[in-house]
């Protein structure tokens, strides 16, 4: 059985792979320098790069699928910022996969591909940290997890909305003369 929500369960895979990839790339470069066949040694970091791109794509897809529900409790700006950093990370991991694939070529082209991919893998750690940080802020600072909490488990009976979203709704309600409360049927504010 798949967890619900799925996004929090899958987002850790690309982050872990992003941190492991530079280590395996460096290990492959050292092994090649010591005499290992480049095709064989570089296959491991290439496999990690492929897994990274695939898991990043899955994380982005599950995030988009669950984004509408989270939008009910989190302001648009932090959610959009996280989405943009995740999409950038996916793009960068795809480019890194292509460059790592060049590392299988023989001679100087392959060597340049392996070195470039290794440097790119180190740089991708920064993008992974950025995505992870913005996702953590959504959960711990902006209360995104409350989108999945039962209404009766929230303090103050907030019906799945964090305090920021409730305050924004209250402000919109005050601005339109109380009509919002009549529309959503919630007169107990």
Profile the chain (189 residues) by mean pLDDT over runs of 10 residues.
Answer: 86 97 98 96 98 98 90 91 97 98 97 98 97 94 87 54 48 44 43
Angle between helices 76-102 and 107-140 (to 10 degrees): 160
Q: What confidence score (pLDDT) does residue 114 get? A: 98
Q: What confidence score (pLDDT) does residue 176 get? A: 45
Tally the C-alpha atoms within 13 A of residue 175's C-alpha that lie toward its C-beta.
Answer: 6
Q: What confidence score (pLDDT) does residue 168 get? A: 46
Q: What confidence score (pLDDT) does residue 3 get? A: 79
Q: What confidence score (pLDDT) does residue 91 get? A: 98
Model pTM? 0.77
Q: What confidence score (pLDDT) does residue 155 get? A: 58
Q: What confidence score (pLDDT) does residue 159 get? A: 46
Q: Answer yes or no: are the C-beta atoms of 118 and 25 closer than 8 Å.
A: yes
Q: Answer yes or no: are the C-beta atoms of 136 and 82 closer than 8 Å.
A: no
Taking only the tens place, the pLDDT of each residue in 50-82 is 999 999 999 999 999 888 889 989 999 999 999
């Amino acid at each position: 059985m798949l967890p619900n929500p799925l996004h929090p369960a899958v987002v850790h895979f690309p982050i872990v792979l992003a941190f492991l990839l530079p280590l395996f790339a460096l290990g492959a470069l050292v092994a090649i320098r010591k005499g290992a066949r480049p095709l064989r040694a570089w296959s491991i970091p290439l496999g990690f790069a492929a897994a990274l791109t695939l898991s990043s794509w899955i994380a982005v897809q599950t995030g988009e699928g669950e984004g509408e529900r989270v939008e009910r409790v989190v302001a648009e700006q932090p959610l959009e910022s996280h989405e943009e950093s995740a999409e950038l990370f996916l793009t960068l991991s795809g480019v890194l996969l292509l460059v790592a694939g060049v590392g299988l070529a023989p001679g100087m082209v392959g060597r340049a591909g392996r070195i470039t991919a290794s440097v790119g893998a180190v740089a991708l750690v920064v993008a992974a940290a950025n995505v992870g940080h913005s996702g953590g802020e959504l959960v711990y600072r902006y209360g995104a997890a409350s989108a999945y909490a039962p209404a009766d488990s929230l303090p103050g009976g907030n019906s799945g909305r964090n305090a920021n979203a409730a305050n924004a709704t209250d402000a919109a309600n005050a601005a339109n003369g109380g009509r919002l409360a009549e529309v959503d049927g919630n007169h107990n504010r």
